[in-house]
Amino acid sequence: MSGIFITFEGPDGAGKTTQLELLAEFVKQQGLPCLTTREPGGTDISDRVREIILNPAHTEMAPETEIYLYAASRAQHVHEKIKPALDKGTVVLCDRFVEASVAYQGYGLGYGEDLIRQMNELATGGLKPQRTYLIDINPEVGRGRMNGRKQTEFQTDLDRIEQKELHYHQRVREGFKALANSQDHIHPLDGNQSIEDIQFRIRKDFKRLVETKKD
């Protein structure tokens, strides 16, 4: 039996991590095996790559390097963690995946969707999520939330990607919107709604997804 692969996406500060954790609680309440993980990261090697990518001191990083590093982190993550869990029938909830690269590197950096998809085809072996919950938020609102969050965690610095100019994050948001219009597996959600309302919609959709799988 193969599991269910679900990813969460959206501009920084959209609230996807909170929604992922709430869905994980629900999946476990249903008695289903559940794995939560994130990108970039999720394995020792991938976490090391994450540190390199997001380090604010790495201002000299070439965009091509950034694209390859996200894909490299992902390749290890799929190979070592996601694929084995799915093969065992686990529900895998992943904070970001290929759609993030399409939005941030494809649209944000201007490399286009096709190139990013081609590169990630090799990294993922063609693995695609059955569902992506895409939470939309205006990047200005998202940034305000991030700033508040980092201060309460006693971290004053945003990471290298979060620090990029607002225009970059606006291109990323447009990228996500374009994906929502072209990909059937993407379920768009309005990040201005309450945490409870968004989670209600996610759980409703998830229940339907599980039912369809049983058929």
By CB under 6 A, residue 9 contacts ligand TMP: no
By CB under 6 A, residue 104 contacts ligand TMP: yes
Least distance (Å) from ligand TMP to the CB of residue 97? 7
By CB under 6 A, residue 40 contacts ligand TMP: yes
The residue number with the shortest CB distance to ligand TMP is 104
**Residue number with CB closer to ligand TMP (39 or 136):** 39
By CB under 6 A, residue 162 contacts ligand TMP: yes
Exactly one of 19, 101, 124, 132 binds ligand TMP (CB under 6 A); that residue is 101
**Residue number with CB closer to ligand TMP (182 or 212):** 182
Least distance (Å) from ligand TMP to the CB of residue 94? 9
By CB under 6 A, residue 169 contacts ligand TMP: no
Exactly one of 39, 77, 106, 131 binds ligand TMP (CB under 6 A); that residue is 39
Q: What is the DSSP string of the chain?
A: ---EEEEEE-STTSSHHHHHHHHHHHHHHTT--EEEEESS-SSHHHHHHHHHHH-TT-TT--HHHHHHHHHHHHHHHIIIIIHHHHHTTPEEEEE--HHHHIIIIIIISS--HHHHHHHHHHHHTT---SEEEEEE--HHHHHHHHHHHHHHTT-----TTTTS-HHHHHHHHHHHHHHHHH-TTEEEEETTS-HHHHHHHHHHHHHHHHHHHH-
User: From CA 162, how far away is CA 144, in angstroms rounded?
Assistant: 11
Least distance (Å) from ligand TMP to the CB of residue 157? 13
Exactly one of 5, 70, 111, 206 binds ligand TMP (CB under 6 A); that residue is 70
Least distance (Å) from ligand TMP to the CB of residue 192? 19
Q: Is 110 exposed, middle or buried (0-12, 13-18, 19+ CB in 10 A)?
A: exposed
Cα dihedral angle (100, 103, 104, 109), rounded to 10 degrees? 150
By CB under 6 A, residue 136 contacts ligand TMP: no
Exactly one of 161, 186, 189, 202 binds ligand TMP (CB under 6 A); that residue is 161
Residues near ligand TMP, by CB under 6 A: 12, 38-40, 70, 95-96, 100-101, 104-105, 161-162
